[in-house]
Amino acid sequence: MKKLTFSILTLAVAASSWGQTVNRSIKPKPGPAPEIKLGKTESFTLPNGMKVFVVENHKLPTISCNIELDIKPELQGDMAGYRELMSELLVAGTKTRTKDVLNAEIDQMGANINASDEGLVGSGLKKYQEKIFEILADIAMNANIPQEELELAKKKTISGLETQKNDPDAMVRNVSAIVNFGKNHPYGEIPTEKSVKNISLARCQQYYQTYFRPNVAYMAIVGDITLAEVKPLVEKYFGAWQKKDVPVASYSVPMLDGNDANRLTKVDFAPRTAAVQSVVSVTYPVDLKPGTPDVVKARVANTILGGGSQGRLFLDLREKHAWTYGAYSSLRDDDLGGSFSATVKCRNIVSDSSVGAIIDEMKMMQTERVSDTALQNSINYISGNFAIGLEDPKRVAQFAINTERYHMPKDYYQNYLKNLSAVTADDVMAVSKKYIRPDHANIVVAGSKDEVANKLARFSADGKIDYYDYSGNPVTPTDKKAAPAGATADDVYKKYVSAIGGEKAISGLKDLKMVATSEMQGLPLTLVIMKKEGGKISETVEATIGGNKMVVNKKVSDGKKGYEEQQGKRKEQTKEDVEEAAMEADLQSDLHQSKYGITRTLTGIETVEGSDAYIVEKVDGKGKKTTEYYDTKTALLVRQIEMIKGPEGMVPKTTDFSDYREVPGTNGYKVAYFFSIPAGGGVNLNIKVQSVDVNKGIPDTEFN
């Protein structure tokens, strides 16, 4: 089968200067910590237990309301993923409003109403404040989750999970969650296609009825309001919300159980097909609770290590060695379990060197006293961000909730800058020894097994590497096997040509029209491709919005000239573009590969989606390289990997083919009726072919 491709629309602190002479040999002394004025926060508690915080801000005639639930729910188990679905299900209608009515009311106000598994958020103009409270209360108390909305949400989630299978960032994120927290912790529950399919309506309803209760709720109201006017509204709409005992689950983090045998450094590897770079995270859980004395000191230490472009990791791995575009770290406090991570994206050849550099920098935080300049710069950076944050009244309201929820000292935020300015170099070294632990880390890497994995074994305490799939499940990696003695790429390709119909069927092709459908972020797409002898080709992507179709991308070539049109902007094709389009348009190109200077080399056998496939390296006449995978049993093409230019260098573009069917009236010619193709931003398009017409006489005007 000719490799069919579609061109789609890819969904994608100002510095001051001194005006006077400064004696830079004299280090300026830090001034006193500025006084914090958090603004007035008023509060009250409803009889049902909901705590309400009100922050006045009269700059704009708007209000926002955030309802946050203080809960520790039961584990999701074999239905992992249902909590993530709550954001869609809770706004799918209530017992008093259908989904359409609810959306119409929100749109009429120009308001925003959003939900999650841990609360609700609403915002809009002040004149609609009562209506906003009414709708939020209706969702909080009367959400009606219909089965059809659950099925739609599950379908969308499963489609999203498909994009993670070869997405290195998702791989590292999922594997890190598993190895850091384990599957018996909320942060270690990773949704899979199987678990999402298991999700039942009863389970979602049970979660809502159990945990959406006022006695575990904090409400923050910010905007052009006063306590006197907002309190009656809250009482009116939320007073009837019935309180109920809410169960509190307990979770354990094996790596934090005090047994150092559970904290030895290990390497966790997620093999990624045709990867030319690695995504690396040196990570582990930490016992760092919000509001505790170590939080401020730990933030300073992390800023010095990898909190930005002045961090040691950035200066070492990027500025000194040029191994990456950026290297950063985070040290996160969390009531259920904090975490440390140092991350980098780097080329295969320097992956092990990058890991070594990260570990060395982490060790130096424990052994080398930070300079006064670096310490003060970090304190200034954090102070500036904190001060900027105070300009947002929502942040002030969140401070009030945090203080109550995490039992912080009442003056915690009032004294934040004072405590920050008091951090010393000794404090930084002490918290580094406590929380920056390269000897107790999980080194999680997504990348090329053949080129990278074995080089990382030296960092593992036991010299072994543990392998995981994209969702964090342990796997036994498959090694590349040698092809049978005497087998050649020519043999493999001849069998492929025979499998898709043979020379007779292919030589009879004069024109072809294919119509396929897909979906991107819930947006229906129609893809149409037409080819005709003479180098003529047309590729169109249409999106359906509000029942109307619009062309988002179109490429047309008549064999001599062509153009591409995207979002109404037209660009003429270059001579090279037209030549490439003509080769793509050639329906009989499988019979005369030498015409295009194409050569193939058989390099071995590898497992693709559970079946063995021959690996064939293809090079065209212009030197473009593509890796092709042909099923050893069916001889059909099942995967194709091209190297394309991305924002951080060359990246692999993987297309998978399946569901081959014979096209009617073609003497046995077959094409794949399903293929998955990357669309940018870590998103894959799952494309289903709806119809294929051959030799129907496509008019030349289609290629004008």
DSSP 666: S
* CA gap 141, 286 in Å, rounded: 37
Residue 662: CB atoms within 10 Å = 15
In this structure, what are the phi and psi dihedrals at residue 568, rounded to the nearest 5 degrees?
85, -5
Residues 221/227/230/233 CA torsion (nearest 10 deg): 120
Determine the CATH number of domain 41-238: 3.30.830.10
**Helix (H) / strand (E) containing 557:** strand 548-557
Look at residues 159, 153, 155, 164 and name the one whose alpha carbon lies nearest to residue 190: 164
Tokens at residue 9, please? 């629309």
- What is the rounded CA–CA span in Å between residue 90 and residue 268? 37
CATH class, domain 489-703, is mainly beta
Q: How high is the pLDDT of residue 39?
A: 63
Q: Is 60 exceeded by the pLDDT of residue 462?
A: yes
Judged against a pLDDT cut of 50, whether residue 52 lies above it is answered with yes
What is the model's pLDDT at position 681?
55
Q: Check residue 397 and give its pLDDT.
A: 85
Closest CA to 635 of 491, 504, 483, 509: 491
pLDDT in tens, 333-361: 999 999 999 999 999 999 999 999 999 99
Mean pLDDT throughout 626-633?
95
Size (the chain), residues: 704
Neighbours of 16 (CB within 10 A): 6
Of the given ranges (20-24, 216-220, 477-481, 496-500), which has the lowest mean pLDDT?
20-24
Nearest to 627 by CA among 450, 427, 380, 419: 450
pLDDT band at 37 (very low <50, low <70, confident <90, very high): low
In the predicted model, is pLDDT for residue 5 greater than 70? no
Closest CA to 160 of 188, 192, 120: 192
| Average pLDDT, integer, range 291-308 | 96
- Helical (H) or strand (E) element with 121: strand 119-125
Q: Residue 144: which residues within 8 A CB-CB, separation 6 or more?
A: 92, 93, 94, 95
| pLDDT 10s digits, 376-392 | 999 999 999 998 888 88
CB-CB contact of 528 with 687 (8 Å):
no
Give the per-residue pLDDT at 694.
Answer: 95
CA 361/CA 436 separation, integer angstroms: 10
Q: From CA 235, how far away is CA 54, in angstroms rounded?
A: 14
pLDDT value of position 159? 79
C-alpha angle 515-517-522 in degrees, rounded to nearest 5:
160
User: Cβ–Cβ contacts within 10 Å for residue 243, how many?
Assistant: 15
CATH superfamily of 254-467: Metalloenzyme, LuxS/M16 peptidase-like (3.30.830.10)
The residues, ordered by sequence, that sit 6+ positions from 638 with a Cβ below 8 Å of its Cβ are 608, 609, 611, 613, 629, 630, 631, 656, 657, 658
Q: DSSP letter for 350, please.
A: G
**Which residue, 442, 458, 460, is CA-closest to 179?**
442
Helix (H, G, I), strand (E, B), or coil: what is residue 1? coil
Report helix, strand or coil for 44.
strand
Question: How many Cβ atoms from other residues are within 10 Å of residue 668's Cβ?
Answer: 14
Cα distance between residue 69 and residue 511, in whole Å? 60
361 neighbors 305 (Cβ within 8 angstroms): yes
Spatial CA neighbour of 196 closest among 447, 471, 459: 471
Q: Which of 284, 169, 306, 139 is nearest to 683 (CA)?
A: 169
Cα 562 off chain centre by:
36
State mean pLDDT over 460-472: 94
Produce one character per residue of 472-498: b if its CB has 16 or more CB atoms within 10 Å, e if not: beeeeeeeeeebeeeeebeebbebbbe
Asked whether 543 and 550 are in contact (CB, 8 A), the reply is yes
pLDDT at 25: 45
User: Which of 35-49, 189-203, 450-464 is predicted with the least confidence, judged by mean pLDDT?
Assistant: 35-49
Residue-level pLDDT at 11: 25
Does pLDDT of 416 surpass 50? yes
pLDDT at 137 over 60: yes
Which H or E element spans position 141? helix 129-142
Q: Report, as an integer, the average pLDDT of 296-305.
A: 97
- Sequence-ordered list of residues with C-beta below 8 angstroms from that of 652, at least 6 positions apart, any chain: 273, 274, 275, 276, 641, 642, 643, 644
Domain ranges of the chain: 41-238, 254-467, 489-703
φ/ψ region of 582 (left if φ > 0, alpha if ψ in -120 to 50, else beta) reads alpha
DSSP 527-551: EEEEEETTTEEEEEEEEEETTEEEE
Please tell me the distance from the alpha carbon of residue 408 to that of residue 352, in angstroms, as a whole number: 42
Q: What is the mean pLDDT of residues 163-179?
A: 91
**Biggest distance spanned by C-alpha atoms of the chain:** 87
Residue type, 351: S
Q: Where are the beta strands (DSSP E) in 558-648?
A: 562-566, 569-572, 599-608, 611-619, 625-631, 637-646
> Mean pLDDT in the chain?
90
> How much is the pLDDT for 566?
87
The pLDDT of residue 682 is above 60: no
Strand segments (E) across 647-683: 649-662, 670-678
E strand intervals along 22-78: 41-45, 51-56, 62-69
Contact between residue 356 and residue 303 where contact means Cβ atoms under 8 Å apart:
no
Domain 254-467 matches domain 489-703 at the CATH topology level: no
What does DSSP assign to residue 74?
Answer: P
pLDDT value at residue 598:
94
- Which residue reads 């300049």 in tokens? 373
Asked if residue 687 has pLDDT above 80, the reply is yes
In eight-state DSSP terms, residue 664 is T
State the pLDDT at residue 24: 43
The amino acid at residue 506 is I
Give the confidence band of 17 by pLDDT, cuts at 50, 70, 90: very low
DSSP 143: B
What pLDDT was estimated at residue 519?
84
Can you state the angle between helices 82-89 and 147-162, rounded to 10 degrees? Answer: 120
- pLDDT of 13: 24
Mean pLDDT of 590-618: 92
Could you tell me where the DSSP H helices lie in 258-410?
Answer: 294-306, 312-313, 351-367, 372-389, 393-405
Which long-range CB contacts under 8 A does 415-421 form with residues at least 24 apart? 415/36, 416/36, 416/296, 416/386, 417/33, 417/34, 417/36, 417/383, 417/386, 417/387, 418/33, 419/296, 420/33, 420/296, 420/300, 420/379, 420/382, 420/383, 420/386, 421/30, 421/32, 421/33, 421/379, 421/383
CA proximity to 340, closest of 301, 381, 367: 301
In angstroms, the Cα distances linking 282 to 166, 271, 471 are 20, 17, 18
pTM of this prediction exceeds 0.85: no
Q: How confident is the model at residue 34 (pLDDT cuts 50, 70, 90)?
A: low
Task: Provide the 10 A C-beta neighbour count for residue 102.
Answer: 20
pLDDT band at 650 (very low <50, low <70, confident <90, very high): low
